[in-house]
Amino acid sequence: GQSLEQPSEVTAVEGAIVQINCTYQTSGFYGLSWYQQHDGGAPTFLSYNALDGLEETGRFSSFLSRSDSYGYLLLQELQMKDSASYFCAVSPYNQGGKLIFGQGTELSVKP
């Protein structure tokens, strides 16, 4: 089976850098994805790591280490609009396009 663990809440101030960790137990997967969800809104895709290492997309970066069963999302130059929930998700082998999500981390950005 698969399980993913994330911190439930993180608080940071505007302009700061925050890292949201995701540890997982899975028998095998194609990659680790990150989604953002604002209150009452749809989850939206942020980033995907198929290989170990860092992927950078603007202010957001995502990292994967398969040997450590660990990944993280790094948000730089935080803005108030980054206040949202962030979910890591895995695509298990041999299950087509299925995505299994973690419980999510609620990020609060303070002025």
Is there binding between residue 11 and another protein (CB under 8 A)?
no
26, HSE (Cβ side, Cα atoms, 13 Å): 28
| CA 20 distance to own-chain centroid | 7
Q: Name the nearest CA neighbour of 61 among 51, 71, 50, 47.
A: 47
Is there binding between residue 25 and another protein (CB under 8 A)?
no
**Which of 15-23, 36-44, 58-66, 69-77 is the region at the interface with another protein (rule: CB under 8 A)?**
36-44
Nearer to another protein, 17 or 50 (CB): 50
d(CA 9, CA 52): 26
Is there binding between residue 10 and another protein (CB under 8 A)?
no
The correct pick among 10, 12, 74, 100 for binding another protein (CB under 8 A) is 100
The correct pick among 1, 27, 42, 58 for binding another protein (CB under 8 A) is 42
Tokens representing 38 are 């604002």
